[in-house]
Amino acid sequence: MTVDELRQRLRTLGLLGLASRLEELRDEPWLSRVIQIETEERQFRGLDRRLKNSRLGKFKPMADYDWKWPTSIDREAIETLFRLAFAEQGANVVLVGPNGVGKTMIGKNLAHAVIKTGRTAKFTTASAMLNELVAQDGSAALQRAFRRYTSPGVLVIDELGYVAYGNRHADVLFEVVNRRYESGRPMIVTTNRAFTQWGELFPNATCVVPLVDRLVHHCEIVQIEGDSYRLKEARERSGA
């Protein structure tokens, strides 16, 4: 690196004292080691901060996923998602299937992979997000709440389809989807409902069709079929 590049690197790392005295220190053998240590620590702190802000919680790694359990799953499509091209291209991911086939596990692992690349991600259940948004009192509070869900690089919305919602819930979901659509920020959505059934989730809501249209415009849809793996584990524990 040139002297100017090295000085900028030190300033970025917050080593302002070293940056100001770079002319006399640039040939010191320990300087490169200090920069390496500070860079690694900065990366670690950044990763730790992004993981805490993501609200991912605990989850099993994909190495523990039982690919033989679902009766139908496109393993190649899912493994391709972990190359994270969807995050680069701003494409959404929708995982469709019944309860207990690993949709949440896959979604959390995808978000974790995104975070490891330096991007931000946020995990939420559909109910938690929508109930928070409709509960906001006043325009300013609502806009702050919207930013919590529209600013992360990737947003994971889990369990959309297990509960029916009112028109207000449909409106705020459309707003989140539309804002992320316009900004090119992708979403990962897990649902147990086919898109043709989304009208049942939001009875009488007029925004369902444009909502789905924006969600699937740039989207990878993966269908998973099978029985609940959690129910299988519960039966095994009961039998033991």
Clarify whether residues 23 and 76 are in a common domain: no
| 47 pLDDT higher than 80 | yes
Asked whether residue 233 carries a pLDDT value surpassing 80, the answer given is no
78 neighbors 217 (Cβ within 8 angstroms): no
What residues contact 71, with CB distance under 8 A and at least 6 apart? 225, 226, 227
Give the position of tokens 């998973």.
Answer: 224
114 and 174 co-located in one domain: yes
Task: Classify residue 181 by burial, with Cβ atoms within 10 Å: 0-12, 13-18, 19+.
Answer: buried
Tell me: pLDDT of 81 over 80. Answer: yes
Q: Do 146 and 83 sit in the same domain of this protein?
A: yes
Residues 100 and 39 in one domain: no
Q: How many domains does the chain have?
A: 2
Give the span between the Cα atoms of 209 and 216, in whole angstroms. Answer: 11
Is pLDDT above 90 for 31? Answer: no
Specify whether 126 is located in the same domain as 29. Answer: no
Question: Distance between CA 134 and CA 145 in Å, rounded?
Answer: 10
Secondary structure (DSSP) of 138-206: SHHHHHHHHHHHHSSSEEEEEEETSS---HHHHHHHHHHHHHHHHHT--EEEEESS-GGGHHHHSTT-T
Q: What H or E segment, with its residue span, contains residue 94? A: strand 92-96
Tell me: do 13 and 112 sit in the same domain.
Answer: no
Closest CA to 120 of 155, 83, 79, 93: 155
Q: What is the pLDDT of residues 154-213, one digit of tens each?
A: 999 999 998 889 999 999 999 999 999 999 999 999 999 999 999 999 988 889 999 999
Residues 72 and 137 occupy one common structural domain? yes
Do 116 and 208 fall into the same domain? yes
Its domain, for residue 20, covers 3-54
Residues 99 and 165 in one domain: yes
28 vs 111, which has greater pLDDT?
111
CATH code for position 195? 3.40.50.300
* pLDDT in the model for residue 85: 97
Predicted TM-score of the model (pTM): 0.83
Q: Do residue 87 and residue 175 come from a single domain?
A: yes
Phi, psi values for residue 56, rounded to 5°: -70, -35
pLDDT bracket for residue 130 (50, 70, 90): very high
Percent of the chain with pLDDT over 90: 69
Q: State whether 161 and 199 are in the same domain.
A: yes
Q: Which residue has the higher pLDDT, 3 or 105?
A: 105
Residue 122 has pLDDT above 80, yes or no: yes
* 161 plus 186 within the same structural domain: yes
pLDDT of residue 25: 85
What does the mean pLDDT of the chain come to? 92
